[in-house]
Amino acid sequence: MTDTTTYDGRRWHDMGGTPAGPVPTDQHDFSLWEKRVDALMTIASGNGHFTVDGLRRVIEDMGAEAFETMTYYERWIASVNQNLIEAGVYTTAELAQRMTEVAARGPTYGEAASE
Amino acid sequence: MPPGHVRTPAYLRGKTGWVERRLGPLPNPEQLAYGLKGDPLPLIRLRFCMADLWGPDTDSPDDTVDAEIYSHWLEPAEGPHAP
């Protein structure tokens, strides 16, 4: 049996040099929640909970589908959350309780806070 | 290619460059990525010719690209390479 595959072990995120379309050069602003995610990463790494290497490791482990379907900061907050749980900052049970509390504030809470 | 948090991009693997400058030591990102204390390692800024990476027909073949790669992901080249 002859194996003719040329799989080189490259992981999905290691995409430098692969064919791509034109580079978008338009500018865009960030929403409030995206700025908060960025600030959260700065605080969490500044407090020594994890590093940018941990941020990248979780994002890369999320796979190519997440890269296609989630926005940049959606992937960031998923990774920040995973790293903070791994670091023991909070448990999944505590996270679930807090998410329930936030949901109870109602769907317009986030909009009101961003005014 | 090995599993883990290896930071050498695929397009540079097996290519020959030359040392632009030596940096560090800095903690090993393979350990930092998993919440471990990173062993201090030399970080080397390497310079590669675009033609060596993409072939002689590439745009701007005489341009160079710099990459900072930890010393344990490098091996010595057979001869001098700087242009």
pTM higher than 0.80 for the full model? yes
Whether A110 has a pLDDT exceeding 70, the answer reads no
Whether residue B52 lies inside any domain: the answer is: yes
The 3-state DSSP class for residue A69 equals helix
Average pLDDT over residues B18-34: 97
CATH topology for A32-113 is Cyclin A; domain 1 (1.10.472)
CATH of the domain at B67: 2.30.30.50
Q: Report A:8-47 residues touching B (Cβ under 8 A).
A: 8-11, 14, 16-17
Burial string for A59-71 (b: 16+ CB within 10 Å, else e) reads bbebeeebeeeee
**Residue of B9, B11, B33 with shortest CB distance to A57:** B33
Q: How far is CA B26 from the centre of its chain?
A: 15
- A vs B: CB pairs below 8 A: 38
DSSP result, B10-63: GGGTT---EEEEEEEEEE-HHHHTTTPPPPEEEEEEEEEEHHHHH-TTSSSTT-
Q: How many Å apart are CA B58 and CA B62, to the nearest integer?
A: 9
The model's pLDDT over A52-96, given as tens digits with 9 standing for 90+, comes to 999 999 999 999 999 999 999 999 999 999 999 999 999 999 999
Contact residues, chain A, for B1 at CB < 8 Å: 8-11
Domain extents in chain A:
32-113
